[in-house]
Amino acid sequence: MSKRDYYEVLEVHRNASETEIKKAYRKQAIKYHPDKNAGDKAAEEKFKEISEAYSVLSDTQQRVIYDQYGHAGLGNGGGGGYSSGGFSGSPFEDLFGDIFGDIFGGRTSQRSRGRRGDDLRYNLSISFEEAAFGLETKIQIPRYQSCDTCDGIGAKPGTSPRVCPTCKGAGQVRIQQGYFSLTRPCPECQGEGQIIDQPCEECRGSGRIRGKRTLTLKIPAGVETGSRLKLSSEGDPGLNGGPPGDLYVVISVQDHPLFRRDGQDIICEIPISFTQAALGCELEVPTLTEKITIKVPPGTQSGKVIKLQDRGFPSLQGYGRGDQLIVLRAEVPTSLTDRQKELLEEFALEGGEEIHPMGKSFFDKVKELFG
């Protein structure tokens, strides 16, 4: 049984653009999809037929071959009847095509026809607390957007781009140089594969206009400076029916006047007086949500750490939370009255080395090493 013409299957004309072919395929694919036609063999066969047609017509090289040689040209892996200056379909051509294709722009010109939009970066600064608890915010992104007047095609409404007659939509032409068959961008369409005779007045044929887009962004709790959030398809729109790029939001967390972060833990250094360290006390300390009271035991040394469990940053993976570490720093008075000096001297004479256990231990070790 002979196959139907692929253009007839998709119900498009032979000069249809990539966008028109894609729209036609989507329309029929939705209509004949097996999920919507359970048990319908005719619909299943129709779906296979339109899928096969689209796989050929959406591929630049296969479409060129099909336009020249029909189904027969695709019978041998898609290249059986395609002439390339005497080396058609041979490994020799494949080998040197890989080497010289990029150099002379062949591959680049093919990609340029349906070029993917650029990825965008947005730098977002958030507070220390917002990084700890997450937030929802709106951001405004300056970017290109698809032209509504021409639906991103670039042609004046009511008209369509036509397939370049020189390269037959491939965006490239082959030239013969000695034993090599090389490719270069088509000079008539500048590698685009199509020609717009009547450009859209709004976008001047580019299919894109400059604008701004407002997005609602959810920042998860636990992010840190350098965290990147990817918003798929929110970058610049593609050219000639290509897919849009992505948007990457890069997080920068502001410093906090009291806290610093160490992984999932929060560190807060709190000064205490010599008397508080020696005698012990109750101390009011800040956390991210409130002030709480902790007990400082008598004889606390400078640098002692008191852990407040589960008061740090949450894990980005969604389980567990760090701690808040209170680091106590005992302050030595820098200005003493005569009476204070006298009392401290009496204090030292009364206690001797026994009141400085860390110092005694250190100097004992020095004596062991050096005698």
176 has pLDDT over 50: yes
- In angstroms, the CA 56 to CA 74 distance is 9
pLDDT at position 175: 79
| pLDDT tens-digit readout, 277-322 | 999 999 999 999 999 999 999 999 999 999 999 999 999 877 889 9
pLDDT of 190 over the 60 cut: yes
State what percent of residues in the chain have pLDDT above 70. 82
Q: How far apart are CA 152 and CA 200, in angstroms?
A: 9
Report yes or no on 18 lying in a domain. Answer: no
User: Last residue of a domain, which of 198, 228, 253?
Assistant: 253
pLDDT confidence of 87, banded at 50, 70, 90? very low
Per residue in 119-144, pLDDT (tens digit) is 999 999 999 999 999 999 999 998 88
- Three-class SS state of 116: coil
CB 193 within 8 A of CB 183: no
What is the rounded average pLDDT of the residues 2-28? Answer: 87
| 124 in a structural domain | yes
The answer on 244 and 124 residing in a single domain is yes
Query: In this predicted structure, what is the pLDDT of residue 88?
Result: 33
Q: Which residue has the higher pLDDT, 353 or 348?
A: 348
Collapsed DSSP state (helix, strand, coil) of residue 275: helix
What pLDDT score was predicted for residue 209?
87
The answer to whether residues 245 and 185 belong to one domain is: yes
Residue 114 confidence (pLDDT) above 70: no
Give me the pLDDT at residue 36, please: 78
Position 78 scores a pLDDT of 38
pLDDT of residue 301: 93
pLDDT digits (tens, 9 = 90+) for 217-235: 999 999 999 999 999 989 8
Domain hosting residue 150, numbered range: 120-253
Q: What is residue 138's predicted lDDT score, i.e. its pLDDT?
A: 95
Q: Are residues 266 and 236 in the same domain?
A: no
- Look at residue 322 in the predicted model and tell me its pLDDT: 95
Q: Given pLDDT bands bounded at 50, 70 and 90, which one contains residue 362?
A: low
- Cβ neighbours of residue 30 under 8 Å, at least 6 residues apart? 36
Question: What's the rounded Cα separation, in Å, for the pair 45 and 29?
Answer: 12
Statement to judge: residues 302 and 244 lie in one domain? no
Looking at the fold, whether 222 and 271 belong to one and the same domain comes out as: no
pLDDT at residue number 1: 57
210 plus 131 within the same structural domain: yes
More confident residue, 365 or 12: 12
111 vs 170: CA distance, rounded Å:
10
Domains contained in the chain, number? 3
